[in-house]
C-alpha cells in the first residue's frame, strides 16, 4: 500500500473509507490510521529501536541462520543443515569433555552462589543504621567496577606461581607447602580460582537491585507477621522479605544469569592465555572465541552461540518458575 492514501485518510474524516470496500482493507486502513496517530510515540522510540534491531535482533537472527551453514568469513555461507549441532554432540571432544562440564560447574556455583551472596549481604547491610550503609555498599560493589586489567594485576599477583606470589608466600611461611605451587597453570586449581574471583566481582547491579528491593518492603508486615506467629528473622526473611521484593529478586536473577554466562574472559585475564592449560578453565565463551577468532569457523561458532542463547533462555524460565509461583498476585 502506498503511503499517500492513508495520510489523506487521516486528515480527512472517517467517511472517506468506502463502506463497500472489503473488510481486510478497512482493517488495514484502520490499523495504519492508528499507527499514524501514534507517530510521535514511534518517533520517540526510533533511536533505541533502530539500534536495538541492528545490533541485537538482526545479529541474533543471523547467528541462528549462520549456525546451519559453513562459513569462514570469505566465501558465501553454504547451507549444511543441523550438521554443526550433531558434530557438537558427537565429534567435538573438547566441547563434551571440557567446555560443557566446566560451564555447568561454573554456572551452578557462581550463578546461585553469587545470587545468594548478594542477597545475604544486601540483607545484612539493610540491618545497619542508615548513615553507615553507604560505606558498606561501596565496599561490596567496588569489585564489580574494576575492569579486566585490575583483575589481572591484583589476582595474578596473589596467585602467581613463584615464591613471591601472595598465596604461595603465606602458605610457605605457615609451612603448609614445601615448594611454590603454579596456581594458575595447574588445571586442578584454575577452576576454583576462577570461581572465587568471579564471586568477588558478582555484587553488581543485581546486588544494588536487592538493596533497593529491601527498602520497598512494608515494615508493618513484620509486625503483622509477629502476630501471626513468626518467631525468628529467618522466618521473617522467608515469609515476608523475599515475597515482598519478588520483582527485584527476578531482576537480579536475570542479571546474575547474564553475568555468569558471559564470564569467559576471566580465565584469559588470569592466565594470559587464550586457551587455558588442559582446557581447565575453558568455558563456552572461550570455545566460541576459539572457533570464531582462531580457527575462523564462523558457522560452528554461531552454532555454539545459539546453544548459549538457548541455555540462558532456559535458565531465565527456570528463575521465573522459582520466583513466579510464590505468592502470586
Give min distance, CB of 307 to other proteins, in A. Answer: 9
Query: How far is CA 139 from its chain centroid?
Result: 23
Return the range that interacts with other proteins (CB under 8 A); candidates 12-20, 103-111, 138-146, 182-190. Answer: 138-146
Closest to 64 in 3D by CA, of 85, 48, 93, 43: 85
DSSP string of 212-252?
Answer: HHHHHS-THHHHHHHHTT--SHHHHIIIIIHHHTHHHHHHH
**Four-residue CA torsion sign, 277, 279, 283, 288:** positive
Q: Does 233 bind other proteins (CB under 8 A)?
A: yes
Least Å from the CB of residue 279 to other proteins: 19
Asked if 80 interacts with other proteins (CB under 8 A), we say no
> Which residues 191-220 are close enough to bind other proteins by CB under 8 A?
200, 203, 205, 208-213, 215-216, 219
Q: Which is nearer to other proteins, 115 or 155 (CB)?
A: 155
Nearest CA to 26 among 7, 6, 42?
A: 6
Give Cα 97 to chain centroid, integer Å: 24
Strand partners, 78: 70
Pairing verdict, β 69-70 and 78-79: antiparallel
Instruction: Examine residue 72 and tell whether it contacts other proteins (CB under 8 A).
Output: no
Distance CA 203, CA 225 (A): 30
Q: Identify residues 159-188 at the interface with other proteins (CB under 8 A).
A: 163-164, 166, 169, 173
Q: With CB under 8 A, what is the number of residues at the site for other proteins?
A: 100
Stretch that binds other proteins, among 1-9, 20-28, 91-99, 312-320 (CB under 8 A): 312-320
Closest approach of Cβ 204 to other proteins, in Å? 9
SS3 327: coil
* Ranges within 40-69 binding other proteins (CB under 8 A): 40-42, 44-45, 47-49, 51-52, 54-60, 62-63, 66
Using the rule CB under 8 A, which residue among 7, 142, 224, 294 binds other proteins? 142
If one asks whether residue 298 binds other proteins (CB under 8 A), the answer comes out as yes
CA dist 93 → 127, 251, 254 (Å): 50, 36, 31
For the window 81-120, what string marks contact with other proteins as x by the rule CB under 8 A? ----------------------------------------
22 CB burial (10 A radius; 0-12, 13-18, 19+): exposed
Binding mask 247-286 for other proteins (x = CB under 8 A): xx-xx--x--xx--xx-x-------x------------x-
Minimum distance, C-beta of residue 314 to other proteins, in the bound complex (Å): 10
Which residue lies nearer to other proteins by CB, 18 or 49? 49
Amino acid at each position: 500500500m502506498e503511503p499517500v492514501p492513508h495520510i489523506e485518510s487521516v486528515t480527512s474524516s472517517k467517511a472517506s473509507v468506502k463502506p463497500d470496500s472489503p473488510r481486510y482493507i478497512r482493517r488495514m486502513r484502520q490499523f495504519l490510521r492508528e499507527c499514524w496517530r501514534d507517530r510521535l510515540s514511534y518517533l520517540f522510540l526510533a533511536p533505541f529501536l533502530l539500534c536495538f534491531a541492528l545490533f541485537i535482533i538482526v545479529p541474533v537472527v543471523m547467528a541462528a541462520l549462520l549456525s546451519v551453514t559453513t562459513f569462514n568469513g570469505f566465501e558465501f555461507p553454504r547451507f549444511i543443515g543441523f550438521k554443526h549441532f550433531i558434530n557438537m554432540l558427537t565429534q567435538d571432544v573438547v566441547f563434551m569433555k571440557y567446555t560443557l562440564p566446566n560451564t555447568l560447574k561454573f554456572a551452578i556455583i557462581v550463578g546461585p552462589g553469587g545470587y545468594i551472596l548478594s542477597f545475604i549481604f544486601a540483607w545484612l547491610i539493610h540491618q545497619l543504621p542508615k548513615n553507615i550503609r553507604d560505606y558498606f555498599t561501596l565496599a561490596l560493589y567496588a569489585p564489580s567496577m574494576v575492569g579486566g586489567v585490575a583483575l589481572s594485576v591484583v589476582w595474578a599477583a596473589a596467585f602467581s606461581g613463584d615464591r613471591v606470589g601472595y598465596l604461595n608466600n603465606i602458605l610457605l611461611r605457615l609451612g603448609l607447602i614445601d615448594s611454590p605451587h603454579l596456581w594458575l597453570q595447574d588445571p586442578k586449581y584454575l577452576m576454583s580460582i576462577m570461581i572465587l574471583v568471579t564471586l568477588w566481582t558478582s555484587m553488581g547491579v543485581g546486588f544494588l537491585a536487592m538493596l533497593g528491593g529491601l527498602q520497598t518492603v512494608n515494615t508493618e508486615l513484620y509486625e503483622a507477621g509477629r502476630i501471626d506467629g513468626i518467631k525468628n528473622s529467618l522466618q521473617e526473611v522467608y515469609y515476608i522479605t523475599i515475597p515482598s521484593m519478588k520483582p527485584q529478586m527476578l531482576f537480579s536473577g536475570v542479571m546474575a544469569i547474564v553475568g555468569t554466562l558471559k564470564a569467559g574472559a576471566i580465565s584469559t585475564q588470569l592466565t594470559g592465555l587464550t586457551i587455558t592449560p588442559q582446557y581447565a578453565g575453558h568455558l563456552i565463551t572461550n570455545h566460541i572465541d576459539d572457533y570464531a577468532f582462531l580457527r575462523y569457523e564462523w558457522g560452528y561458532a554461531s552454532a555454539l552461540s545459539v546453544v548459549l542463547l538457548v541455555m540462558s533462555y532456559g535458565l531465565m524460565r527456570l528463575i521465573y518458575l522459582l520466583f513466579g509461583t510464590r505468592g502470586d498476585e
